[in-house]
Structure 1
């Protein structure tokens, strides 16, 4: 096995939050490595256009990721590929084991994010970014005065549906059950909104497009077995979101759903382990919130080391 590499800080995840945490920690003269199993930038690499991040009227996701990466590298952070398998504690040290080697540091920042669950139907992957979205806050502006569909019936689906209704021509909620699972107050708002329509007992079968963009959603009426179709320009899918935290389960820092619990300073209950961004138990998951939390985490890592030095 290759020799264990030593750092002050190991940042796991190279999305906007992880890159920002690395930037702030590196600027505090800490030796930082960012680990990721894929290319830096995280989910920004799957986003065609970003128009809700301050300072950029319109920028491609991969371009913003490249700028954030270069900023962190210029500050002195390092980047390495590695799929993290576990974090083990050895006194004040944390041992991060990956498929490509081991890393040791006094502090670890977890920024592994979360992934939206997919329907797994025809057309979903083909039209991702071409009408299929998992984030209304990110993409609602692209469907102003258009007919859109929301697939799902929980809190997120209805919250995002209400958000879309502010600018869309209409919002059709397609749900596989005969009633919503969202909180009562959300349901009331949705039912009272004249732009919102509902299709019940519907099993989504296919997302249809013309090769360039979404044009409709095909579904099966579960009561009659009849195949039906609704014409839409966009499909927003909310059938669940999964935090990327399985390898951290033994640390005891997650809730029952796998979300990492932190205080307002991004500190978990394990000293020297911090978490930020989409992996945290919280409401809003955006590039801007990840960057804000990244700056806090980077500063808190510095404060953590200052506290150790004072003892």
Structure 2
């Protein structure tokens, strides 16, 4: 039985995945989004989301994510509740398998599995998420204007975010596991933190518990040397102990960095042709809803161009019944333009050979696959196979020799 083949399959239904779905479907690609849980990802659990452009005070994460999903469905995106367990990403058609035993086939894939803030499992931590417990100062700092907050962590992110929080909060207390004066952050950030009158430190300590009635009101801090428990009034707790990308299932499938994040270029291309990645699981500088949807848009746009390039090359070259002479050229390269003109003028010398002209820079995937690094370049295909080639400067006799093997 012939399996249904999707033009674009998106793994993950967070902001990045849904944005990729919108851009894919709007480009008339048959698009499916696989999401194991609630669409919207972390953003769908953020009660207030006021820094997404176009949505001011009072906007909620669940509300914005609901709108994005409805937008995607309006363009024809199909959502399936599936957890991806295995992928075969090499080849023209990608195969994605799920926990339910389903198998999906797609011509292009966007990976948007997201990342989760590393949690510590402290008593009250989970219960107060979105109610005083946060993992993002950029997202939530303005909710604590003239209030007091606690920061857990002492690396670069923790100290830099604590400094950012002082723009809003009246007092920022950093709980540090090390002895007094020892931080894991870079020296420049340490100096700024020490010089900031709003920042206070509690040394040799860890957070033991978070308490409150509906909202965070108090924390319990444990001194590691004495074991003493101390209560502290506070309005919020910010955790900065790192993120964990949801990429365990991608090991050996696409290139990941040492921390498990997906390595992509500016087009969101991964190490595998036809496979893109977007959102918080990417190796990137800023993890926010606005950057996630931007990644998704770029990934889907790039996937659309990839599919058009692949389909055109397959139709014109690989599926051709006659031999095909493919000339790679570039509009800014005079020598390649002369080569195209020469071949055009003497095309009658090769009556049984089809001529196809390809702009190197508009078709970089095809060029890369056949290792075309300079123009002009002439590649001869027969029955879909590359049988001969000339790279660089060429003459009429070179072209004659190229075709002579047929």
Question: Is TM > 0.5 for Structure 1 vs Structure 2?
Answer: yes
What is the aligned partner in structure 2 of residue 50 from structure 1? 49
TM-score normalised to structure 2 length: 0.74
Q: Give how far 1:63 is off.
A: 1.3
Q: Which residue of 196, 201, 204 corresponds with 2:199?
A: 196
Checking the alignment, whether the CA contact within 8 Å between 2:89 and 2:253 is kept in structure 1 is no
1:1-311 matched pairs, under 5 angstroms: 4-57=3-56, 58-100=58-100, 101-178=102-179, 179-209=182-212, 211-311=213-313
Asked if the contact 2:262/2:277 (under 8 Å) is kept, the reply is yes
TM (normalized to structure 1)? Answer: 0.96
CA contact (8 A) 2:23 2:300 kept: yes
- Give the 3-state SS of the residue equivalent to 1:71 in structure 2: helix
Structure 1 unaligned runs (5+)? none
Q: Once the two structures are superposed, what CA deviation does each residue of 1:202-234 show, in whole Å capped at 9, x if it has no partner?
A: 02110121x121112211111122111222100
CA distance in 2, matches of 1:74, 1:14: 16
Q: CA deviation at 1:90?
A: 5.0
Q: CA deviation at 1:119?
A: 1.6
CA deviation vs aligned residue, 1:17-51 (integer Å, no higher than 9, x gap): 11011100111111100000012111122111111
Following the alignment from structure 1 to structure 2, what is the Cα–Cα distance between the partners of residues 127 and 224? 28
The residue that corresponds to 2:371 in the other structure is none
In structure 1, what is the Cα distance between the partners aligned to 2:309 and 2:195? 54
RMSD across aligned positions (CA): 1.4
The 8 Å contact of residues 89 and 272 in structure 2, kept in 1 or not, is answered as no
Matches of 1:21 and 1:158, distance apart in 2? 34
Measure, in 2, the Cα distance between the counterparts of 1:29 and 1:52.
Answer: 31
Mark the CA change 1:185 to 1:214 in structure 2 (over 3 Å): closer, same or farther. same
Structure with greater Cα Rg: 2
Q: CA–CA distance in 1 between the matches of 2:32 and 2:234? A: 45
Where do 5+ consecutive residues of structure 2 fail to align? Answer: 314-406
Instruction: Specify the SS of the correspondent of 2:126.
Output: coil
Check the 8 A contact 1:3/1:102 in 2, yes or no.
Answer: no
Q: Secondary structure at the match of 2:172?
A: strand
Q: What is the CA distance between 1:4 and its match in structure 2?
A: 4.6
Distance 1:226 1:90 in 2: 57
Given that 1:5 and 1:102 are in contact with CA atoms closer than 8 Å, whether structure 2 keeps it comes out as: no
Deviation at 1:89, TM superposition (A): 3.2
Partner SS state of residue 277, structure 1: coil
C-alpha distance in structure 1 between counterparts of 2:121 and 2:29, whole Å = 43
Structure showing greater relative contact order (alpha-carbon pairs closer than 8 Å, 6 or more residues apart): 1
Displacement, 1:110?
Answer: 0.7
Figure out how many residues of one structure are paired with residues of the other and give that number.
309
Alpha-carbon separation, structure 1, partners of 2:4 and 2:128: 42
CA separation of 1:267 and 1:91: change in aligned 2, threshold 3 A:
same
